């Protein structure tokens, strides 16, 4: 009907074929189950928003990355850049949503970034947020959710690094710079510590943020504070003794630590880290990130914080909020590297062969019966040569093949073949499902 089109995908975009998508889907299911256990509820919002809903929220650099266009009706629209601003819109728009509103959302977002290793123009965000309370219990709950998610995914060796933006604003005094813009610039520089190292950050503070060498040095001293959590908190309190706001931040940090521990987060997973800023302009209090101890180089796999001023952009009323974002792709890649991902094929476990087309109805009935017994089953679309069908079964990821040829049909039986070991036996029909279950219980070859 038309000329052949070269099949291709846009740069910076990805197809998730089944071998990637299946473990990813299982991971999302696990994560959402944890969210629900904490009383979070699902929300979905459109991928497209009016441009003015998104503009002015992310900072100028981010705004350049919006997918923005004029729709058929002449509206100025954008693909969403994150899930947080749409959440803010929803909370402002539906004022009768019960508060605190605890929601989760797993959905794609778009950023026209320069594509690179691990950086894509479309990616899935996986967020929980608690809107409408300034209780630090909500901040601590986010930390508990972080811990519970990692635990549910089978990870034990990780660290949740916490800080508070109010503490960082005490840095303003150290830096001699209190204007919002200058402060945000300094925080963004500090945020590069992990990737760039202390030497570079110090240089950036001088060259890019315009600090004197002496003030840059004091900031480096501050973000380099070491010791256990208690020592860090005390030392910071000393260094920032003249900032009331910083003292409040330190006190908040202490409360969040205590409550998270009361909620069962092991103390050795909680680490006060005064260098953590998180890039986004909108955080106002608690900020945290999550590092895999065996793979610290991948960066934070789950991060979040409190952003008490964002939603009021829409409402004009106070609407405090705190949330977490799970870095799904990064986390999945890391878990794969750590061998924590169930690599089980997504395909059906059982492949029912078709001896000849005359036996197809019979094979179809047997497959239906095995599905009723709870198994995942597919039936060969071809018939004839069994060896070829076994190979096909294997290629499709099945672990067991079932044969129902003329002999088996004559005496109400079927042959069950373990595709891993090659072993096979012929059994009465009633015994087929249990025999398959026994094979599937064994680890895959």
Q: Which of residues 194-253 bind a copy of itself (CB under 8 A)?
A: none
- For a copy of itself, the binding residue among 181, 203, 364, 421 (CB under 8 A) is 364
When asked if residue 379 is in the footprint of a copy of itself (CB under 8 A), the reply is yes
Work out how close the CB of 255 gets to a copy of itself at its nearest, in angstroms, rounded to a whole number.
9
Tell me which residue of 191, 220, 181 sits closest to 203, measured CA to CA.
220
Stretch of 205-213, 228-236, 242-250, 310-318 lying at the interface with a copy of itself (CB under 8 A)? 310-318
Please tell me the distance from the alpha carbon of residue 94 to that of residue 330, in angstroms, as a whole number.
33
333 — phi, psi (to 5°)? -60, -45
When asked if residue 125 is in the footprint of a copy of itself (CB under 8 A), the reply is no
Nearer to a copy of itself among residue 43 and residue 439 (C-beta): 43
- For a copy of itself, the binding residue among 70, 200, 297, 336 (CB under 8 A) is 70
Enumerate residues 140-169 that contact a copy of itself by CB under 8 A. Answer: 140-141, 144, 148
172 — phi, psi (to 5°)? -55, -40
Stretch of 29-37, 234-242, 272-280, 293-301 lying at the interface with a copy of itself (CB under 8 A)? 29-37
Nearer to a copy of itself among residue 295 and residue 346 (C-beta): 346
Work out how close the CB of 133 gets to a copy of itself at its nearest, in angstroms, rounded to a whole number.
4
Sheet strand arrangement including 68-70:
48-50, 76-79, 68-70
When asked if residue 402 is in the footprint of a copy of itself (CB under 8 A), the reply is no
Nearer to a copy of itself among residue 94 and residue 226 (C-beta): 94
DSSP string for residues in 306-358:
E-SSSTHHHHSS---EEEEEE-HHHHHHHHHHTT-S----SS-SEEE--SSGG
Stretch of 166-174, 197-205, 243-251, 344-352 lying at the interface with a copy of itself (CB under 8 A)? 344-352
When asked if residue 67 is in the footprint of a copy of itself (CB under 8 A), the reply is yes
- For a copy of itself, the binding residue among 61, 62, 63, 77 (CB under 8 A) is 77
Nearer to a copy of itself among residue 247 and residue 312 (C-beta): 312
Cβ-in-10-Å burial (0-12, 13-18, 19+) of 371 comes to: middle
Nearer to a copy of itself among residue 339 and residue 374 (C-beta): 374
- For a copy of itself, the binding residue among 27, 31, 83, 90 (CB under 8 A) is 90
- Say which residue the tokens 């260094």 belong to: 239
- For a copy of itself, the binding residue among 206, 245, 314, 431 (CB under 8 A) is 314
Residue 390 DSSP symbol: H
When asked if residue 431 is in the footprint of a copy of itself (CB under 8 A), the reply is no
Please tell me the distance from the alpha carbon of residue 281 to that of residue 310, in angstroms, as a whole number.
10
Nearer to a copy of itself among residue 221 and residue 430 (C-beta): 430
When asked if residue 365 is in the footprint of a copy of itself (CB under 8 A), the reply is yes
- Say which residue the tokens 């070859």 belong to: 445
- For a copy of itself, the binding residue among 31, 83, 92, 219 (CB under 8 A) is 92
When asked if residue 348 is in the footprint of a copy of itself (CB under 8 A), the reply is yes
DSSP string for residues in 114-172:
PPBTTB-SEEEEEEEEEES---HHHHHHHHHHHHHHHHHTT--SEEEEEEEHHHHHHHH
Where b means 16+ CB within 10 Å and e means fewer, 378-401 reads bbbeebeebeebbebbeeebbbbb
């Amino acid at each position: 009907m038309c000329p052949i089109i070269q099949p291709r995908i846009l740069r910076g975009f990805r197809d998730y074929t089944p071998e990637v998508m299946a473990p990813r889907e299982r991971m999302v299911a696990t994560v959402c189950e944890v969210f629900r256990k904490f009383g979070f509820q699902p929300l979905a919002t459109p991928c497209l928003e009016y441009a003015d809903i998104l503009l002015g929220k992310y900072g100028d650099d981010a705004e350049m990355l919006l997918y923005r266009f004029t729709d058929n009706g002449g509206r100025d629209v954008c693909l969403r850049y994150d899930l947080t601003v749409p959440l803010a819109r929803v909370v402002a728009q539906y004022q009768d949503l019960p508060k605190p509103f605890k929601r989760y959302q797993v959905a794609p977002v778009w950023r026209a970034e320069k594509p690179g290793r691990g950086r894509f123009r479309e990616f899935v965000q996986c967020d929980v947020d608690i809107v409408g309370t300034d209780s630090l219990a909500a901040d601590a709950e986010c930390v508990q959710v972080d811990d519970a998610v990692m635990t549910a995914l089978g990870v034990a060796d990780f660290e949740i690094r916490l800080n508070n933006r109010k503490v960082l604003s005490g840095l303003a005094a150290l830096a001699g710079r209190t204007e919002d813009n200058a402060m945000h610039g300094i925080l963004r520089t500090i945020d590069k510590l992990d990737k760039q190292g202390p030497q570079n950050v110090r240089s950036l503070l001088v060259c890019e943020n315009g600090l004197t060498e002496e003030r840059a040095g004091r900031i480096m001293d501050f973000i380099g504070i070491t010791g256990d959590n208690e020592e860090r908190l005390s030392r910071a309190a000393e260094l920032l003794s003249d900032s009331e706001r910083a003292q409040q931040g330190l006190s908040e940090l202490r409360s969040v630590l205590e409550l998270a521990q009361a909620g069962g987060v092991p103390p050795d997973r909680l680490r006060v880290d005064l260098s953590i800023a998180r890039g986004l302009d909108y955080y106002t209090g608690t900020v945290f990130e999550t590092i895999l101890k065996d793979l610290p180089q991948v960066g934070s796999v789950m991060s979040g914080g409190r952003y008490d001023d964002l939603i009021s952009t829409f409402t004009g009323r106070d609407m405090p909020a705190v949330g977490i974002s799970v870095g799904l792709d990064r986390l999945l890649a890391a878990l794969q590297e750590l061998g924590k991902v169930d690599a089980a094929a997504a395909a059906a476990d059982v492949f029912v062969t078709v001896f000849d087309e005359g036996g197809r109805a019979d094979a179809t009935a047997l497959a239906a019966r095995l599905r009723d017994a709870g198994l995942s089953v597919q039936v060969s679309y071809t018939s004839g040569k069994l060896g070829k069908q076994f190979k096909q079964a294997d290629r499709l990821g099945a672990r067991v093949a079932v044969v129902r040829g003329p002999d088996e049909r004559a005496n109400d039986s079927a042959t069950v073949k373990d595709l891993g070991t090659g072993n096979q036996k012929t059994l009465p029909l009633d015994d087929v499902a249990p025999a398959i279950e026994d094979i599937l219980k064994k680890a895959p070859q």
